[in-house]
Amino acid sequence: MKTKNKFFLIIVLLIVSITTYTYMLPLFSSSEKKLESISAELTLTANDLVATYTNDETKSNALYAGKIIEVTGTIKEITFLNNRTTIILNSTSETFGVICDINPNQKETIYQLKKHQKIKVKGICKGFLKDVILLNCSIDLPTNE
Amino acid sequence: MNKLLPLFLLIFSFADADSKQNQFIARQGQISFFSYTSVENIEAKNNQVLSILDIEKEEIAISMLMRAFVFKKDLMYEHFNESYIESDLYPKANFEGKIIDFDAKSKEQQTKIIRGQLTIHGITKELDIKASIANSNGNYILSGEFDISVKDFEIKIPPILASNIAKTISIQFLFQYQPYEE
């Protein structure tokens, strides 16, 4: 009887530890690295994204904020301020653009980029100030352009 | 026509310069905050803070997205946005202020008081912030730090977590301005 109890206890402990490991641990670590393997929920152009945001910010926030989106656009500027790599994408309106904060693991790709080049950027949309802000971005280079 | 074109360009550039020359913009300002307690240290950074500096009116405006703060742990991010700041209701924090006795022409680093209103979590507070302003080749760099009290902005922290979060949060800022071009 006692051995049975022990056995039972071990099983319970095992289950508890596995659940903690799979469900609780992600909360205590950073999800920054995982994004690259997740596919985007929405795909659109930088123009469309900026246009919807300038039209109705609250509505757009409900649509895009917090979601992983993939944006196609041309590079306006690449900056390395504050040790962050940032790409700003053009939109048809001169005032507004898309600021993409690039994940440090994309370093290799950054060196291949030039101004006015067309690229695809995947990241988490955070909202809109004067530009739409995407964080934790990865870059997807079109193969034949 | 060819002779007139440069003239037109000249007129336009002057007309444009009139309104925009005095404005500087930082799209990638950095704001970080720290909470130090004996239980744990919490630190978050936002690298996409927008700020516009008007050197003639001596005014400054800052706006940031609360969800753009990056934490070390996902749980901190979640608590910050869902429970404390309530980012769905108040997605932005804003500051508007005036730089007192600002000398725009000075090439040397100057320390000035910026007096203005800070809005976080839907609550606006009057605030004096000490900032150092440097002018390098016509571009301004603004930096400094200040403290705010969690209580002032009616941020509710459950008693269980009270020991994890400091009562006063220290905030650091760094803005590198460029001339504002449309």
Tell me the CATH number at B122: 2.40.128.110
Give the residue carrying structure tokens 């037109």: B8
Asked whether residue B1 is domain-assigned, the answer is no
Residue B52 is part of which domain span?
Answer: 24-179
CA distance A73 to A120: 7
pLDDT digits 0-9 by tens, B92-112: 999 999 999 888 888 889 999
Long-range contacts of B125-128 (CB under 8 A, 24+ apart): B125/B152, B125/B153, B127/B95, B127/B97
CA distance A133 to A136: 10
Q: What is the CATH number of domain A35-140?
A: 2.40.50.140
Residue A140's pLDDT band, with cuts at 50, 70 and 90, is confident
| Chain B residues near residue A79 by CB distance under 8 angstroms | 28
**CB of A58 within 8 Å of any CB in chain B?**
no
Q: Do B174 and A82 touch (CB under 8 A)?
A: yes
Instruction: State the DSSP code for B124.
Output: E
Asked whether residue B136 is domain-assigned, the answer is yes
Q: Name the helix (H) or strand (E) containing B4.
A: helix B4-20
Domain ranges (residues) in chain A: 2-30, 35-140
Which is it for strands A98-102 and A42-45: parallel, antiparallel or unpaired?
A: unpaired
The yes-or-no verdict on residue B69 having pLDDT over 90 is: yes
Specify whether the CB–CB gap between B30 and A82 falls below 8 A. yes
Asked whether residue B67 is domain-assigned, the answer is yes
CA distance B178 to B163: 42
Mutation to test the A interface, candidates B27, B42, B78, B95, most A Cβ within 10 Å: B27
Specify whether the CB–CB gap between B133 and B112 falls below 8 A. yes
Average pLDDT score over residue span B163-168: 92
Q: Do B78 and A27 touch (CB under 8 A)?
A: yes
CA distance B64 to B72: 19
**CB of B16 within 8 Å of any CB in chain A?**
no
SS3 content of chain A, % helix, strand, coil (to 5): 40, 30, 25
Asked whether residue B6 is domain-assigned, the answer is no
Chain B: give the shortest CA distance to residue A26, in Å: 7
Asked whether residue B99 is domain-assigned, the answer is yes
Q: Do B73 and A129 touch (CB under 8 A)?
A: no
Specify whether the CB–CB gap between B153 and B136 falls below 8 A. no
**CB of B67 within 8 Å of any CB in chain A?**
yes
Q: What percent of chain B has pLDDT over 90?
A: 66
Asked whether residue B124 is domain-assigned, the answer is yes
Q: Ramachandran region of residue B53, left (φ > 0), alpha (ψ -120 to 50) or beta?
A: beta
Q: Ramachandran region of residue B41, left (φ > 0), alpha (ψ -120 to 50) or beta?
A: beta
Q: Do B48 and A129 touch (CB under 8 A)?
A: yes
Position A145 scores a pLDDT of 47
Q: Do A86 and B47 touch (CB under 8 A)?
A: yes
pLDDT digits 0-9 by tens, B25-59: 999 999 999 999 999 999 999 999 999 999 889 99
Please list, residue by residue across B40-52, b when 16 or more beta carbons sit within 10 angstroms of its beta carbon and e when fewer do: eebebbbbbbbbb
Position A20 scores a pLDDT of 79
Asked whether residue B3 is domain-assigned, the answer is no
**CB of B46 within 8 Å of any CB in chain A?**
no
**CB of A109 within 8 Å of any CB in chain B?**
no
The mean pLDDT value of chain A amounts to 85
Position B6 scores a pLDDT of 57
Strands (E), chain B: 23-36, 41-54, 59-65, 70-71, 92-99, 110-120, 123-136, 139-149, 168-176, 178-179
Number of domains chain B is built from: 1
**CB of A95 within 8 Å of any CB in chain B?**
yes
Chain A: give the shortest CA distance to residue B63, in Å: 7
Q: Do A133 and B48 touch (CB under 8 A)?
A: yes
Give the residue carrying structure tokens 């949309």: A125
Note the pTM of the prediction, 2 decimals. 0.80
Specify whether the CB–CB gap between A89 and A74 falls below 8 A. yes
Asked whether residue B72 is domain-assigned, the answer is yes
Q: Do B73 and A27 touch (CB under 8 A)?
A: yes
Position B124 scores a pLDDT of 95
